Amino acid sequence: MRHHKQLKTILPITILSLGIATAWGLLANKPAMPMQAPVSEPPLVTVLIAAPQTLRLDVQTQGVAQPRTEIDLVPEVAGKIIFVHPQLNAGGFFAKNDLLVAIEPRDYDYAVAEAQARIAEAKRLLIAEQAQAEQARNEWRTLGEGKPTALAMREPQLAEARAKLQAAEADLAKAWLKRSRCELRAPFAGRIKEKASGLGQSVQPGEKLARIYATDVAEIRLPINIEQLAFADLPLGKPEAGKLPLVNLTTGLAGQMARWEGRIVRTEGIMNEANGQLYAVAEVASPYAQRNGQPPLLTGLFVQATIHGKTRQGLFVLPPTAINASQEVLLVDARQRLHIQKVEILRQEPGRAVVSGGLQAGDKVVTSGIQVPIAGMQVKLAAPTEKARTASPTNFSNDPS
């Protein structure tokens, strides 16, 4: 019994000892694992082949279309309105010399008749005075001696009669002038902006009857900042014929993109003190003529303007992702090693940057693939290589400013 108890105690200890010895032996005699050096794979990059281009550096701005000529229709005589043009309402059209408003003319007809009567009387008096002057000269030749006086020859009386006739004729011309002003005719072909009078209304000289504007030419004032002046060939002084830049106008109207072409005709000559900008004035001829289904350029319409800018050669166009905040690009040399190059950015545009210096034709510019660039690091080029499209001088260039 005692031997059985000893066996129960010694057996577990022996088994545990054998397990520990076996585990130690396996760990001590395990095969050595071969050491492998880490393999560094060059990053795969996408590059763009730099190609010099000739670009027209257009200027983007905006403005509101306004008529070149806009005036108030006002009478120069008083009276009652007896006629208004059928189109004398806001938005109505009229032609040049159309009768827009007529004022009751009878008072002025009476004035014309009275002036004509005074002329007839003045002529009668002048004829009578001329007869008396002729009689005085004859009498002096028969009876007089020496040199006659002007009064004896009735020269003052004759001059007075002539002056009264001239005054009467002037009164008639004045009466006819007032009579003609009873009719207010359109000085140009145009449109009614607003109406302020109606049939049967009594008006006074200077009272506003309507506001009208011409439809021959529309003007758009376009603000240009200091930076944009370097790209736009604007007439800062007296404009020269044939050297005025074109301007393209666009806006969304009636569910479609409407376009018009105009020309810069002048600058306002002074920098605006409030915003430090110079205003250029563009003109669009016949803005209400609908060509090829395009809607008219309505007065008050807000439009985007693209002014044709100067053309420059030797420029490079890069995507914004190719340039960092320090105005640097990454170049890949013939050994596919990385270089950091400083460039001169002429201007930033939506979707691209225009570079004027720091690049050579054929440079491989990295556009993507490197998060942390290190000068001299080995890279691998993605295939195929992206090549820049060559732009023509008539390509449009967007200016976000």
**One-character DSSP codes across 89-104:** STT-EE-TT-EEEEE-
155-180 helix and 106-143 helix, angle to the nearest 10 degrees: 170
The residue count for the chain: 401
Bridge-based pairing state of the strands 328-332 and 338-342: antiparallel
> What is the C-alpha separation between 28 and 21, in angstroms, rounded?
10
Work out whether the CA dihedral 195, 200, 201, 204 comes out positive or negative: positive
> What is the C-alpha separation between 120 and 212, in angstroms, rounded?
42
3-class secondary-structure state, position 41:
coil
> What is the C-alpha separation between 94 and 88, in angstroms, rounded?
8
CB 327 within 8 A of CB 286: no
Ordered per-residue pLDDT tens for the chain, 401 residues: 555 555 566 666 666 666 666 666 666 665 555 555 555 688 888 888 999 999 999 999 999 999 999 999 999 999 999 999 999 999 999 999 999 999 999 999 999 999 999 999 999 998 988 888 888 788 777 776 678 777 877 788 888 888 999 999 999 999 999 999 999 999 999 999 999 989 999 999 999 999 999 999 999 999 998 888 888 888 777 766 667 899 999 999 878 888 999 999 988 878 888 888 899 999 999 999 877 778 899 999 999 999 999 899 999 999 988 888 889 899 988 888 888 989 999 988 888 899 999 899 999 998 888 888 888 888 888 875 444 443 333 344 544 33
Extract the tokens encoding 52.
């010099």
Q: What per-residue confidence (pLDDT) applies to 144?
A: 67
> What is the C-alpha separation between 229 and 244, in angstroms, rounded?
14
**How far is CA 387 from its chain centroid?**
36
Q: What per-residue confidence (pLDDT) applies to 398?
A: 45
Q: What per-residue confidence (pLDDT) applies to 372?
A: 83
> What is the C-alpha separation between 350 and 319, in angstroms, rounded?
9
Q: In whole angstroms, how far apart are CA 340 and each of 9, 193, 330?
A: 78, 62, 5
CB 329 within 8 A of CB 50: no
Q: Report the predicted TM-score, pTM, of the whole model to 2 decimal places.
A: 0.70
Q: In whole angstroms, how far apart are CA 343 and each of 295, 325, 327, 353, 358?
A: 45, 11, 6, 11, 4
CB 332 within 8 A of CB 364: yes
Quick one: CA torsion of 43, 44, 46, 52, rounded to 10 degrees?
A: 60
3-class secondary-structure state, position 22:
helix
Cβ neighbours of residue 256 under 8 Å, at least 6 residues apart?
295
